[in-house]
């Protein structure tokens, strides 16, 4: 932590709060800094066998949280930093599921619904579809299926949290272990929790752990996964068990960007004084369709970068609503660019898929350490000699050509107790290493590359200049045709508005909202384009140029 850094009054109050609490924090408010400081202060009072649970919703963000907490030699060995699924598996299911299902004679793995044989899928809801998710109330109905999975040597990834909740409820040994080992649980991005994840957090709190939830309801953008910001609101309203702290000063973005983003939700909210000639939010309209936008964007960005004195193109992000817009930009952008989209492994999203993704990142990024893979994926204890052998195998990866990676990945996966028998992840790996575009996802960001991604993928990132595309009526927010073109029906207005808010607040210095005079619709017909309803919300007139 830099010595010159000073906390705001709101940040200091949250850090000094000793009990269970809820922190609602706007973008750029330093919520991660507050979490890290709170956790680091707790380390001083822990016994050698005690630790902290620190959970975020991606391996990357949870790893960053853990790394920040380890700075200056802090001992985090007894603590857990990872995703909620990994916590459930490593600390509850793998060690204690046998207490309620019976001892298994084989190693238990974790399998995603899409990887199940049809005979298992037939007795479950179609969990491959968005908006179909399991809740804790579903456990009793499907318990016999989960037990059969266990007898066959696996647990279902989509059921991990509801199974963990049941283990915690039924196993006294599990409860004693958690209470003895952990003092506190912290969950970041709490607006993205599902009902089972919220139930697990409350169960950990009821065991006596200090519980800290951090989030922002306006950044809730994953409802299709079962996430619900009402869980965060419920904790904030629970004045008996939780103290609510609000950190609402955005230290990241230019004041005019903050003003614009706040008015999306509150047309009468107080504004930060900004001179008319110092507004850094722009609306820009191109003549033609989205093809014209994509074709003209390179020249426009070059001129803007010179005018705004942006030194590195990697500080420029082009954010889109749909992957189809990324396809269009890939065809037309002439400036160096990095395109982020789902690849074969990320679509599988299985534990082995995530492990292969992490190995690919290690292979291409010299800054990555083998120790990070051990911390994230090693599920059982090893002797010092065993650990040295695993580290040596990982380090040796960088000596192999791309075409030899699949065989080496399978060997290393076996060292981590993963089985690659189904070949799904191996096929996905082969597809990635044969695609120069997919490989780029795993290489470190280079200077001089524009960053192009969907609004969903931009969550948690920040850039000097954000260029926000796809702002058309019918496109964003998504509008449903009812038979009357004059009738405006929006099926996901709240989620879409939150996504728009997330996009705007990725900008530190400048934000440009792009439209065009025409639009190619879903049937490839050219239509007159009307701007998104977001661009005419009450209260934002005069807040852009």
Please tell me the distance from the alpha carbon of residue 28 to that of residue 37, in angstroms, as a whole number: 16
| b (16+ CB within 10 A) / e for 455-486 | bebbbbebbbbbbbbbbbbbbbbebeeeeeee
For residue range 267-288, what is the model confidence (pLDDT) as tens digits?
999 999 999 999 999 999 999 9
Please tell me the distance from the alpha carbon of residue 32 to that of residue 365, in angstroms, as a whole number: 25
Least confident of 64-68, 296-300, 384-388: 64-68
> Is there a contact between 155 and 182 (Cβ–Cβ < 8 Å)?
no
Say which residue, 342 or 137, is predicted with more confidence. Answer: 137
Give pTM, 2 decimals.
0.87
Least confident of 316-320, 418-422, 461-465, 476-480: 418-422
For residue range 54-82, what is the model confidence (pLDDT) as tens digits?
998 877 787 788 888 887 767 777 899 88
Say which residue, 522 or 282, is predicted with more confidence. Answer: 282
> Is there a contact between 513 and 261 (Cβ–Cβ < 8 Å)?
no
The whole-number pLDDT of residue 422 equals: 58
User: What is the pLDDT averaged over residues 40-51?
Assistant: 89
Give first-to-last CA distance, the chain, whole Å: 38
The whole-number pLDDT of residue 516 equals: 96
Please tell me the distance from the alpha carbon of residue 295 to that of residue 290, in angstroms, as a whole number: 9
**Nearest Cα to 355, choosing from 53, 83, 16?**
83
Residue 451's pLDDT band, with cuts at 50, 70 and 90, is very high
User: What is the pLDDT averaged over residues 386-391?
Assistant: 92
The whole-number pLDDT of residue 379 equals: 65
The pairing of strands 450-454 and 526-528 is unpaired
**What is the helix (H) or strand (E) element at residue 137, kind and residue range?**
none
The whole-number pLDDT of residue 270 equals: 93
The whole-number pLDDT of residue 449 equals: 92
The whole-number pLDDT of residue 442 equals: 84
Please tell me the distance from the alpha carbon of residue 182 to that of residue 165, in angstroms, as a whole number: 17
For the chain, percent of residues with pLDDT exceeding 90: 67
308 Cβ neighbours under 8 A, 6+ residues apart: 464, 465, 509, 510
Retrieve residue 83's tokens: 């995703």
Phi and psi, residue 542, nearest 5°:
90, -5
What count of other Cβ atoms lies within 10 Å of the Cβ of residue 438? Answer: 20
Least confident of 31-35, 186-190, 373-377: 373-377
For residue range 455-503, what is the model confidence (pLDDT) as tens digits?
998 998 999 999 999 999 999 999 998 888 888 899 899 999 999 999 9
The whole-number pLDDT of residue 1 equals: 41
Which one of 64-73, 157-166, 428-437 scores highest in mean pLDDT?
Answer: 157-166
Please tell me the distance from the alpha carbon of residue 442 to that of residue 147, in angstroms, as a whole number: 37
> Is there a contact between 289 and 516 (Cβ–Cβ < 8 Å)?
yes
* Res 410 pLDDT > 80: yes
* Res 434 pLDDT > 50: yes
User: What is the pLDDT averaged over residues 164-187?
Assistant: 97
* Res 376 pLDDT > 60: yes
Determine whether 545 is exposed, middle or buried from the number of CB atoms within 10 Å of its CB (0-12, 13-18, 19+).
Answer: middle
Residue 2's pLDDT band, with cuts at 50, 70 and 90, is very low
Which residue is it, tokens 């038979």?
A: 483
The whole-number pLDDT of residue 77 equals: 74
Question: How many Cα atoms sit within 13 Å of 198 on the Cβ side?
Answer: 21
For the chain, percent of residues with pLDDT exceeding 70: 97
Where does 171-252 have alpha helices with state H? 172-181, 195-206, 230-237
* Res 239 pLDDT > 70: yes
Which residue is it, tokens 């958690």?
A: 178
**Nearest Cα to 514, choosing from 366, 265, 325, 274?**
325
Annotated binding-site residue numbers for ATP: 25-32
User: What is the pLDDT averaged over residues 303-326?
Assistant: 94
For residue range 80-139, what is the model confidence (pLDDT) as tens digits?
988 899 899 989 998 999 999 998 877 787 888 887 889 999 999 999 887 899 999 999
Please tell me the distance from the alpha carbon of residue 95 to that of residue 341, in angstroms, as a whole number: 36
The whole-number pLDDT of residue 5 equals: 65
Least confident of 328-337, 369-378, 384-393: 369-378
Residue 3's pLDDT band, with cuts at 50, 70 and 90, is very low
Mean pLDDT across the chain: 90
Say which residue, 163 or 32, is predicted with more confidence. Answer: 163
Residue 350's pLDDT band, with cuts at 50, 70 and 90, is low
User: What is the pLDDT averaged over residues 177-190?
Assistant: 96
Number of H helices and E strands in the chain, helices first, is 22, 16
Least confident of 78-82, 253-257, 374-378, 521-525: 374-378
């Amino acid at each position: 932590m830099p010595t010159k850094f000073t906390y705001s009054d709101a940040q200091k109050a949250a850090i000094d709060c000793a009990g269970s609490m809820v922190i609602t924090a706007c973008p750029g408010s330093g919520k991660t800094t507050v979490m890290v400081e709170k956790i680091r202060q707790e380390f001083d009072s822990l016994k050698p066998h005690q630790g902290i649970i620190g959970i975020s919703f991606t391996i990357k963000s949870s790893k960053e949280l853990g790394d920040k907490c380890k700075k200056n030699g802090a001992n985090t060995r007894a603590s857990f930093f990872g995703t909620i699924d990994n916590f459930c598996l490593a600390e509850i299911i793998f060690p204690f599921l046998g207490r309620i299902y019976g001892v298994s004679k084989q190693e238990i793995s974790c399998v995603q619904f899409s990887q199940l044989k049809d005979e298992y899928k037939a007795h479950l809801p179609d969990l491959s579809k968005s908006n179909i998710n399991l809740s804790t109330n579903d456990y009793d109905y499907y318990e016999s299926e989960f037990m059969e999975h266990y007898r066959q040597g696996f647990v279902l990834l989509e059921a991990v949290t509801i199974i963990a909740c049941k283990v915690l409820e039924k196993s006294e040994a599990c409860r004693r272990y958690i209470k003895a080992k952990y003092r506190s649980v912290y969950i970041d991005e709490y607006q993205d929790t599902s009902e089972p994840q919220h139930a697990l957090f409350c169960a950990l709190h009821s065991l006596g752990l200090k519980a800290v939830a951090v989030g922002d309801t306006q950044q809730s953008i994953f409802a299709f996964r079962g996430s619900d910001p009402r869980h965060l609101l419920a904790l904030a309203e629970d004045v008996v068990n939780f103290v609510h702290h609000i950190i609402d000063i955005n230290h990241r973005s230019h004041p005019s960007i903050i003003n614009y983003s706040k008015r999306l939700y509150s047309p009468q909210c107080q504004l930060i004084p900004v001179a008319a000639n110092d507004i850094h939010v722009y609306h820009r309209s191109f003549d033609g369709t989205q093809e014209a936008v994509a074709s003209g964007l390179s020249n426009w960005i070059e001129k803007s970068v010179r005018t705004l004195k942006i030194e590195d193109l990697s500080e420029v992000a082009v954010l889109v609503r749909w992957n189809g817009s990324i396809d269009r930009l890939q065809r037309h952008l002439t400036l160096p660019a990095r395109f982020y989209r789902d690849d074969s492994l990320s679509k599988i999203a299985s534990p082995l898929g995530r492990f292969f993704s992490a190995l690919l990142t290690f292979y291409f990024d010299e800054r990555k350490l083998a120790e990070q893979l051990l911390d994230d994926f090693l599920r059982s204890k090893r002797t010092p000699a065993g650990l040295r052998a695993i580290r040596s195998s990982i380090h040796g990866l960088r000596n192999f050509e791309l075409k030899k990676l699949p065989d080496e990945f399978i060997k290393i996966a076996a060292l981590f107790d993963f089985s690659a028998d189904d070949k799904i992840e191996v096929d996905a790996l082969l597809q990635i290493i044969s695609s120069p575009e997919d490989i780029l996802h795993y290489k470190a960001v280079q200077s001089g590359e524009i960053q192009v991604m969907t609004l969903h993928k931009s969550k948690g990132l920040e850039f000097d200049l954000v260029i926000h595309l796809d702002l058309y009526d019918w496109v964003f927010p998504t509008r449903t045709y009812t038979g009357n073109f004059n009738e405006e029906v929006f099926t996901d207005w709240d989620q879409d508005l939150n996504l728009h808010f997330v996009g705007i607040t990725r900008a530190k210095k400048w934000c440009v909202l792009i439209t065009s005079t025409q639009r190619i619709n879903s049937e490839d017909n050219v239509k007159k384009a009307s701007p998104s309803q977001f661009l005419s919300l009450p209260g934002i007139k005069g807040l852009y140029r």
